[in-house]
Structure formats: structure tokens, C-alpha cells
Structure 1
């Protein structure tokens, strides 16, 4: 069986590695607890190495059926807020000293993971964020983070509300209490372990940052006593059976295990991974179904030849419409094929037909349209100046977004044209 066939059978979950130093060299790793759970519930983890340039190669990891982001350093503060929360230089220096292993910003990892998070949000690909992964998700949706929970949140709490969110000497054994919000997925997973009045569970956590302003699309699922959000999800993108799952957990359910045992603290601990993989499998089925429909739209040789001529006609018209150049280089008869098709076609919506006729109008109104384009040269200069001030990462994100939109538009248009041409030629 070839690799392309395997990709249709096995759901793939992308996980970005974390960089560390071992024997004076960088190594990439992912915690095995995550990998074991993903494999155990029926998906295949595909590790995306955190190496320079990978953020420009994410198309090579297609098809993507799910994304799990988990470990890593602090996210670059410039990605979620302009100012550093009013902390003094002395406080910032103390944070760097206390959390030296986490405060070394990794911009390459930020770029890879934010791009994957945005891809999931754009395509509704299932996403599970654990710890840093939950923070990446919130930032990708416009939320912000505490630069340091202790300095910005806990210090203002009453004695009974203070929480120790990190213990460097007791990574697996450290626990603190959180209150679960009713009628959320977290409540459903842990309901057999909750007391009706308390709604508390003890969780493992290992972080000094956390959600400050939760992005609008999300709903909290749990709070620590100091008020920190410990879990959130998008209720409009949560239906594992239908391939929908967008969630962030600040704590580590995969590490909530009894001492010297693989038994979980609560039966609900692995549920996040179980439901996530269920959504991954559901998403894969939807994706494969879509691919099957596209493959079924096969035309005979003559019909396919006509289809290609019509698509080329619209492609030429689109280029003229968007760039204002090339009318003298185009054979007018090629454009007329598309214009004739528009005249005889009534299957498109009014909005679609209007848009396509705008492109087709360049056949007869090329001269006047180019004059109008010249009036926009000043706006183009302003746009170029603005983009000239953007960072490489911002320009890369912008280019990736429009490239993705172009692909989507092209696929949808071709599917529609396939159906329309088939109907007309068959009648």
C-alpha cells in the first residue's frame, strides 16, 4: 500500500517538538504521555520538528486531521500585548531568574504553533492545547496572557486564594485545586468524581504564565482559587462525533497519575485525549468524503477539454481584473469563451454571477477599467509602505493566509464549474 493510501486510513495529529540542550547540542522532544494517549485512542502522532524554516513548510505535513500543542517556553509578549503589564525592571529580572528555563523566547516555535493554531481555526481542524498550547490558542484568537501569574495575579489574592501553579522540585507530584464549571465538557468528563456542592478536582500544573483576557469565542471550563482560568473551549466548535473540537487546558491531565503507577487520579483524566481523537477521526471522515466527491466528478475527454477552456477563460479574466495588466497579451477569443458561458448559464447565484461578470467585463471594457486602476496607484504605494514596516513573520502569515484563500476559492469554483459544465453538456 502506498503512503497516499495510508494517509486516507490513518488519522494524523501534528505535535510540535520542544527544543532542549543535551550534550552541548540541541535536541527535539515530545513527552511520551501525549504520544501514548494519541496512539492508544486510534490516531497517529506526526512530530513537527522545531527547526528554522519549518513554519514555511507546513503544507508538507498535509493532510492534517488534528493538532495537539503542549510543551515549550513562554510566548513572545509582543504577540499579545504592546506593554509588559506594568511590571518594574526589578520584577522582570526576578521573573527571568526564577523561571530561566521558560523565559527564553523561542520565536521559531511561536511562529510554527501560531500558524498551526490559526490553520485549525480557519478550517475547523480539531485542536487540543495543553499548558502552553492553551496559551497559544488564546493568543491566536486575540486574547492575552499574564506575563507572570504570581506577580500580576496571586500577589493581590487573599491568603486562602493563593495558588502555587508551579513546583520545579515536584513536577509530577504537584497538585492544586480547581473549580469545574457546570455543563461544560470538563464537567461531563469528571462528573463521577465531583461533589455536587464543591465541583473541585486536584490538577497537576507546571506554568508561571496563564490566560489574562480570554478571547471572546471561548467559554471557561475551570478556575483556580486565585481566579486564573484553567480550561476553556469553543462551544460552537465542540462536537467530537462531527469532527469538532477546539479546547485549551492549562493543567496536565496526562500527568495526573498516582505515585509509582500508571493509574490516573480520576477516571476522567484521559477523556480530553479520547474525545479529541474522536473528533480527529470524525474530521478525517469528513475530509475523505469531500475528496471522494471531488474524485467522482470526472468528465470524459471532450467534456474535460471544454471545462479547461472555460476555467482558463475565467483565470485570464481574473488576472486582468486584479492586476490591470495583460489585455494586449490575451487572445480575445479565449476570454469570449467565458463570456459566452456566463450568458447561457443561470445556475449561479446572483452574487456569483455579478462577480464573474465583473471579471468578464474586462473583455470589452479593458481600456476604461485600466484607467480606473491607475487611480489606485497611490493606494498601492501606501499599502507597500505599510507592508515594508511589517516583520518577516507578519508578512509570512499574510502571504500564507491569501495563498490559502486562493486555493479554497479555486477548489470551490472548479467544483461548481464541474457540476455546471456537466449539466449543460449533458443536456
Structure 2
């Protein structure tokens, strides 16, 4: 059975081109994509989803990592932040795989007590340009390079689609549409990719599939491997869910009416 992958999107005017692209990639990777708004009870999503994709969107409100907003912060969605932080923590507790994309990675980091740079250009001297406008720049373009550790889930997922190899790190190029970035890495995460200015471009956890990437993988062909890794982890989660339900049914007390 194909696993259901919940794509979480904002209630603001959404980037439907990106959502359609997410649909295509998840379907091509072997999953069943479904769109969910960040409303209601996050528990309803974790009760049915085999995997989750946290998508891009507005800035994460600095309230959630203990800061006040600087003048450079852009639009925020407090309710979406709160919903997705709770959703990620529930997913982690229930061992549901999560792929965080751009803002989604930042949400995962903040959910585990990490912090963010509110604006790269004003807070990091000599930073390269990260905040390309996706409405004006073709998202399939590769806009800057980064170092990716080979001892990582991300590398293992995409290595067969790359034309480079190395012992410790590989240098690849990605797209880039963000002005915020990880400052302090959240508890349990490790950084596994870096741009030339030192900004963390990807994080992951040792156990399970909890991966965050700062770029937009849905537009890069080699990143199909990342989605396949998510689908495989989601499929395993689906099987675990069925096994747990079977065990619970077997352990359920008898009504005593059997003859």
C-alpha cells in the first residue's frame, strides 16, 4: 500500500505552483499526497498520515524561540507556527517521518528549542545572497553552492543521482529562497550541509527520518531520492501502525458472549 504523505500548507495566499510540484514529486516517489491546512487539531493529522512534509511560507515568529521581532522580519503567521510546532512534536513522539522544506526546516529546529537568524543580510557579515525571489527567479536554477556531509541521510538518499563523490563531503549547487536561517541547532538535530558563508543548509536526527533542508528540493531532479527516502520511511511507519493495531485487537478483552 502506498503511504499517505500530508503536505502542510499555509492559510495565506499559497504558492500553488510549489504545491502542485510537491504533489508530482511525492506521487512519482511512490506516495499518496494530501494537502492539509494548519487548522484544528494537529493530532488529527498524525492519526492518519504516514509521513509529513512541512512546506515553505512566512517567517517563523521570533516569539517561539525567545526573541522580539527585529525591523527586518517580514510577514508572520503565529497560528500556523503554533500548529506546526505541535504537529512536529507529535510526529516525533509517534515516529512519523517528517521532511521540512525551507521554513519547514526552521519550524523543526524551533520545535526542538533551536533559534533562528531573523534576517541573514543584516545579522551575518559577508553572507552570500540567499533571499532570491521565487516569483522572479526560476526555481529550477542552482543559485549557490554548499558542502554536504557524506555521513548523512540526505547524501545517502541522493548520492545515486549525483555526478560527484567524496569521502567526507561533496560540493553541490542548490536553489535558495530564504532570508532567515538556523542560528542555534535544536536539540537532537545535527547540521549536515553548509553554504560557503557557514549558514546551515540541512539538519537531521540520528534516529528515524526527520530531515530539514533549506533549499527547495521539489524543483531539483536529483532530490527525488530525498522524497523516495521519505516514502520508504513512511511505508515502514505504515506497517508499524498496522502491527500495533493488530496487537491491540488481539489484546482487547473479550466481551464474554462468545459461545
Same fold (TM over 0.5): yes
Distance 1:55 1:80, change over 3 A: farther
Which residue of structure 1 lines up, in the alignment, with residue 238 of structure 2?
284
8 Å Cα contact 1:68/1:128 also seen in 2 = yes
Q: Distance in 2 between matches of 1:228 and 1:171?
A: 22
Which residue of structure 1 lines up, in the alignment, with residue 159 of structure 2?
190
1:232 equivalent in alignment to 2:203: yes
Q: Distance in 2 between matches of 1:134 and 1:61?
A: 18
Distance 1:117 1:104, change over 3 A: same
Q: TM-score, normalised by structure 1?
A: 0.55
Which residue of structure 2 lines up, in the alignment, with residue 16 of structure 1?
8
Q: Distance in 2 between matches of 1:247 and 1:73?
A: 20
Q: TM-score, normalised by structure 2?
A: 0.87
Q: Distance in 1 between matches of 2:253 and 2:182?
A: 52
Q: Distance in 2 between matches of 1:229 and 1:149?
A: 12
Q: Which moved more, 1:32-41 or 1:295-304?
A: 295-304
Q: Which runs of 4+ in 1 moved over 4 A?
A: 27-30
Q: Distance in 2 between matches of 1:43 and 1:186?
A: 18
Cα shift readout 1:159-189 (whole Å, capped 9, x = no counterpart):
xxx4211222314125100011131123332
8 Å Cα contact 2:46/2:90 also seen in 1 = no
1:47 equivalent in alignment to 2:35: yes
Residue ranges of structure 2 left out of the alignment (5+ in a row): none
**Rg larger for:** 1
Residue ranges of structure 1 left out of the alignment (5+ in a row): 1-8, 22-26, 97-102, 238-243, 257-263, 305-427
8 Å Cα contact 2:55/2:102 also seen in 1 = yes
Q: CA deviation at 1:190?
A: 3.0
Aligned-residue CA RMSD (Å): 2.4
Cα shift readout 1:197-216 (whole Å, capped 9, x = no counterpart):
87210001100001010013
Q: Which moved more, 1:280-289 or 1:179-188?
A: 179-188
8 Å Cα contact 1:67/1:116 also seen in 2 = no
Higher strand share: 2
1:32 equivalent in alignment to 2:24: no
8 Å Cα contact 1:166/1:174 also seen in 2 = no
Which residue of structure 1 lines up, in the alignment, with residue 181 of structure 2?
210
Which residue of structure 1 lines up, in the alignment, with residue 149 of structure 2?
181
8 Å Cα contact 1:18/1:28 also seen in 2 = no
Q: CA deviation at 1:68?
A: 0.5
1:81 equivalent in alignment to 2:48: no
Aligned residues: 251
Distance 1:151 1:289, change over 3 A: same
Which residue of structure 1 lines up, in the alignment, with residue 117 of structure 2?
146
